[in-house]
Amino acid sequence: MRKILPNFTDKYPDMKVLVVEDEKRVAEMIRKGLSEEGYHVVLAYDGETGKKLALTANPDVAIIDIVLPKINGLDLCKELRLTHPGLPILMLTAMGTTDDKLEGFEAGADDYLVKPFDFRELVARIRVVARRGGAAGPHSSGFVLKIADLEMNLHTRIVKRAGTTITLTKKEFSLLEFMLQNPERVLSRAEIAERVWHTHDWGTNFIDVYVNYLRNKIDKNFTPKLIHTRSGVGFILTTGEN
């Protein structure tokens, strides 16, 4: 069982970060910088070693490059989601297209950083995903969010519509959770990007893609339709007509 993260201030002396990066120069730069910030860093230069260290070192956060020998980063991310479902994962890649980001999120990543990156941004992203991971314990209160016949149990992470269980990816769940926390309110793409993806970059269409993913799962075979588009503004979860 993973430990609950402490309430961090400026330094993180008890946080263990697993870095899986095959470029040794980049890996050493990350290790050196994070060590100076107070993190304990464990390095792996291939996906297979990264998988083993995730099981033995019990990290609090994982930073995983996508292009890795033995086990690639996307497959490693998927495997860690099975063995460490609450582990915050930050993906690193030299590719930054919308499809690349979607592939990373679908693999289970919490966030995505494109190379080359400013080290200060890396530290900021780690802090964001770490806080989310540390909040998972008290957040799991058994509270159920509902609208119409759609319900989400935050404790069991089970989503149902009209009694039918709906399987969501981690990001789909986070997006729907945010919408259920803000029913009957138009949510702009900028707000969704900041609150769900923790980024100010919403210039691509990945938010629209994820909204469509949700529509296909919770609206396509049910009535009334719950997710509506407000042209030029954003999206709203409502029982009213579009």
Which segment of 66-75, 141-150, 157-166 scores lowest on mean pLDDT? 141-150
Which segment of 9-13, 37-41, 63-67, 114-118 scores lowest on mean pLDDT? 9-13
pLDDT of 202: 62
In single-letter form, the type of residue at position 25 comes to R
Average pLDDT for residues 158-168, to the nearest whole number? 92
Domain membership flag for residue 59 = yes
Domain match, 170 and 116 both: no
Domain membership flag for residue 202 = yes
Domain match, 29 and 125 both: yes
Domain match, 31 and 133 both: yes
Domain membership flag for residue 9 = no
Q: What are the tokens at 5?
A: 């993260």
Domain match, 186 and 151 both: yes
Residue 193: HSE in the Cβ half-sphere, 13 Å Cα cutoff? 17
Domain membership flag for residue 207 = yes
Domain membership flag for residue 5 = no
Q: Report how many domains make up the chain.
A: 2
**Domain boundary residue among 113, 137, 161?**
137
Domain match, 57 and 116 both: yes
Domain match, 80 and 28 both: yes
Which segment of 4-8, 197-201, 238-242 scores lowest on mean pLDDT? 4-8
pLDDT tens across 168-194, in order? 988 899 899 889 888 888 999 988 988
Domain match, 27 and 132 both: yes
Q: What is the CATH number of the domain that holds 26?
A: 3.40.50.2300
CA distance 85 to 110: 11
pLDDT of 6: 36
List CB contacts of 37: < 8 A, sequence separation 6 or more. 11, 12, 123
Q: Which residues constitute the domain of residue 95?
A: 16-137
In single-letter form, the type of residue at position 180 comes to L
Q: Which long-range contacts (CB under 8 A, 24 or more apart) does 185-194 make?
A: 185/236, 186/230, 186/233, 186/234, 186/235, 186/236, 187/234, 187/235, 187/236, 188/233, 188/234, 189/234, 191/234, 192/234, 192/235
Q: What is the four-CA torsion angle of 165, 178, 12, 107, rounded to 10 degrees?
A: 50
Domain match, 63 and 100 both: yes
What confidence category does residue 222 fall into, taking pLDDT thresholds of 50, 70 and 90?
A: very high
Domain match, 84 and 179 both: no
Domain match, 108 and 133 both: yes
**Domain boundary residue among 96, 111, 137?**
137
Q: What are the tokens at 150?
A: 């759609």
Q: What is the CATH number of the domain that holds 157?
A: 1.10.10.10
Domain match, 37 and 131 both: yes
The answer for 198, left when phi > 0, alpha when psi is -120 to 50, beta otherwise, is: left
**Domain boundary residue among 137, 152, 170?**
137
pLDDT of 128: 78
Domain membership flag for residue 8 = no
pLDDT of 124: 86
Domain membership flag for residue 1 = no
Q: What is the four-CA torsion angle of 94, 95, 101, 103, rounded to 10 degrees?
A: -100
Domain match, 94 and 176 both: no
Domain membership flag for residue 54 = yes
Q: How far apart are the first and last CA of the chain?
A: 45
Average pLDDT, the chain: 82
Whether the Cβ atoms of residue 49 and residue 2 lie closer than 8 Å to each other: no
Res 8 pLDDT > 60: no
